[in-house]
Amino acid sequence: MADMMSKISAGIERAFASRGFAEPSVEDLRDAAGVSLRTLYKYTPSRADMVLAALENRHQRYLLHVFDGLPDDTEEATDAILVRVGTWMATETSHGCLFHAAVAADPNSGPLRELLERHKAEVASRAAAATGVVEAEAELLVIIEGLTQAWPLRGDPAVDAAKRLGHALRVSFV
């Protein structure tokens, strides 16, 4: 059962990431998930559930991509996190944060807003722990979010700028 949910979540995440939240029809999402319409609705009974499942899948993948196997050295970890965010932007989406896009598409959805807040809080917490500046969660999140928003406009130079900001932050807090 968990394997089927993972398959569905991964497929619909790809569809939403490449086409946005408004464009893909339920049939498109079914095709992306590689399941029957009945199976899609069994695991995700509404379009809102489909969006949440896709974002939960993305949340887990993002955390693994950015934070798994970081260097023990906190300065190296800082650079690695920011480089990995840039790589994520280059390979997974070049349009900005999918979580923010989902909330923008349905601004009155409490569950979407809660998922966005949980995702960002976990990113900030993990970044602070990995970089050794636990008192700078908010600042680290601003740097990561800034990189996410600047990457579509600047690409790799945005990563370099974020790394400089990360180093300056470490100097001011360590």
pLDDT at residue 26 greater than cutoff 80? yes
Class of residue 132 by CB neighbours under 10 A (exposed 0-12, middle 13-18, buried 19+)? middle
Q: In the structure, what pLDDT confidence band is assigned to residue 5 with cuts at 50, 70 and 90?
A: very high
Run of H or E residues at 145: helix 137-154
Q: In the structure, what pLDDT confidence band is assigned to residue 173 with cuts at 50, 70 and 90?
A: confident
Q: Which pLDDT score, from 0 to 100, does residue 43 have?
A: 96
pTM for the full predicted model: 0.93
In 3D space, the residue among 36, 170, 140 whose CA is nearest the CA of residue 11 turns out to be 36
Q: Which pLDDT score, from 0 to 100, does residue 94 have?
A: 64
The CATH code for residues 2-173 is 1.10.357.10
Taking CA atoms, 36 is separated from 2, 16, 61, in Å, by 17, 18, 25
Q: Where are the domains of the chain?
A: 2-173
Question: What would the pLDDT profile of 57-89 be if each residue is shown by its tens digit?
Answer: 999 999 999 999 999 999 999 999 999 999 999
